[in-house]
Chains A and B, each alone.
Chain A
Amino acid sequence: MGTVTEVREETPRARTIVLDVPEWPDHLAGQHVDVRLTAADGYQAQRSYSIASPPGEAGLALTVERIDDGEVSPYLADELRVGDSFELRGPIGGYFTWQVHDGGPLLLVAGGSGLVPLMAMVRHRRREASEVDTRLLLSVGSWNDALYQAELAETPRQGVACRYTLTRHWDAHWAGWTRRVDAEMLGAVGPGPEDRPLIFVCGPTPFVEHVADLFVALGHEAGRVRTERFGPTGG
């Protein structure tokens, strides 16, 4: 069971839920949990959500983006309040994970809320005072959809190069990229295949397929590219 101790609005569509989970066995950056909700008549629904907080931090943080026709995410993103509790299992997933001793360079590419498990890696790196060369590319529809803006604005000082591309809406002052992720963009973010970065890509399926294909075409080893896909299905 997890009990909600804090709720933070991240964007108009997403919020972070901080949970107190007694006897949490701790997790690795990149892992997820299974959430199970039970209605008064006994009906249950389960979904998986990525963990946003780094290992070792008090309070397990999940960031949930509302899917309008979803079943679980609207409840978590709108209805849930401090003091509520729900069942959760985890941590789950042992492949899409990064620990400081896995080394780098680290190349993180997120589509939308696919940033959540990658943020756990960025936070883990900071918490462990790691100096691993880390690059982050975030593709979002508009600036309003970008999670953790204030925190990511601080990361260049910690040695994390963070860049954005906006794919649907941007204003006249926007100086960043305004297109779908392409090979030229990945080349500019770097590091290149000769540096053998450890690459993590997370986002909706078409985004992940596209970006993973680009990395392979650029000459990165397929075995260094780890993917996690978020389906809009049913969320």
Chain B
Amino acid sequence: MAPISRGFRGRRRTDVDPSRVPPGQYVVNDFPVLSAGPTPNIRLDGWSFTIDGAVDERRSWGWEELLALPSETVTVDIHCVTKWSKLGTAWTGVSLDVLLEDVETSAEYVTARSEGGYTSNLPLADVTDGQAWIAYRFDGEALEPEHGGPARLLVPHLYFWKSAKWIRGLTLMDEDEPGFWESLGYHNYGDPWREQRYWSD
């Protein structure tokens, strides 16, 4: 039993379904921004998304090629390790199942790579079977740079830092390798429902 904070009552929200809010999270209506540095200014000519690493053959898509792939619009809840959750967010993008369809690999992990060198690591099994997308639209609009535009990884069942902004590729890995925040004290897997925020969780 946690110690009572004298005089604290809190302010429960009555307009949200508590079963959609992981432990320790609170629901916001706006869309906060978290990044380690400046927002990059990314040009679409010359942009590409590349799958490399432990693969039979490296694959790469330019911006127009990505847009030409079959897309999906999904409505999902997102959970940031800094404790805000945003419910019912609508994203449009390409499922990683489409991008990984013809990729032969023995790898069990991926490292998501972003413009500017940011990385995040995930099990391959967490980005397949309809669990992850390369998203380029949010709420029907082009994804804004501060939220990861032109395109970001979307893996809504893990804390949102795993959904790397400004995504440029995935490297398939035989061995798991901690990414940027995972090397700086944040949990290697990051399941919000098990409140895996930090190394010791």
In contact, B3 and A1 (Cβ under 8 angstroms) = yes
Give chain A residues whose Cβ lies under 8 Å from the Cβ of B117.
Answer: 223
In contact, A222 and B40 (Cβ under 8 angstroms) = yes
Q: B18 → chain A, closest Cβ, in Å?
A: 11
Q: B187 → chain A, closest Cβ, in Å?
A: 12
Partner of A93, one of B5, B9, B24, B184: B184
In contact, B12 and A46 (Cβ under 8 angstroms) = no
Q: Is A183 an interface residue (CB 8 A)?
A: no
Interface size on B, residues (CB 8 A): 38
Q: Is B35 an interface residue (CB 8 A)?
A: yes
Given contacts A38-B2, A40-B4, A225-B37, contact A233 B185 (CB under 8 A): no
Instruction: Mark the stretch among B26-34, B57-65, B71-79, B127-135 that contacts chain A.
Output: B26-34
Q: How large is the interface on A (under 10, 10 to 19, 20 to 34, 35 or more residues)?
A: 35 or more
Give chain B residues whose Cβ lies under 8 Å from the Cβ of A212.
Answer: 37-39
In contact, B36 and A234 (Cβ under 8 angstroms) = no
Q: Is B7 an interface residue (CB 8 A)?
A: yes
Please name the residue on chain B nearest to A208 by beta carbon. B33
- If over half of A's interface residues share one DSSP class (helix, strand or loop), that class is named, otherwise mixed; here it is mixed
1/0 per residue, CB under 8 A from B, across A1-42: the answer is: 100000000000000000000000000000000101111101
In contact, B5 and A39 (Cβ under 8 angstroms) = yes
Q: How far, in whole Å, are A40 and B116 apart by their CA atoms in the complex? A: 46
CB interface residues, B 161-201, toward A, < 8 Å = 180-181, 183-185, 197-198
1/0 per residue, CB under 8 A from B, across A201-235: the answer is: 00001000100110110000011011101010110
Q: Is A167 an interface residue (CB 8 A)?
A: no
Give chain A residues whose Cβ lies under 8 Å from the Cβ of B84.
Answer: 231, 233-234
Q: How far, in whole Å, are A112 and B167 apart by their CA atoms in the complex? A: 32
Q: Is A155 an interface residue (CB 8 A)?
A: no
In contact, A48 and B83 (Cβ under 8 angstroms) = yes
Give chain B residues whose Cβ lies under 8 Å from the Cβ of A89.
Answer: 198
Q: Is A94 an interface residue (CB 8 A)?
A: yes
Please list the residues of chain A having a beta carbon within 8 angstroms of any beta carbon in chain B: 1, 34, 36-40, 42-48, 71, 75, 79-80, 84-87, 89, 92-96, 205, 209, 212-213, 215-216, 222-223, 225-227, 229, 231, 233-234
Please list the residues of chain B having a beta carbon within 8 angstroms of any beta carbon in chain A: 2-12, 24, 26, 28, 30, 32-41, 82-84, 116-117, 146, 180-181, 183-185, 197-198
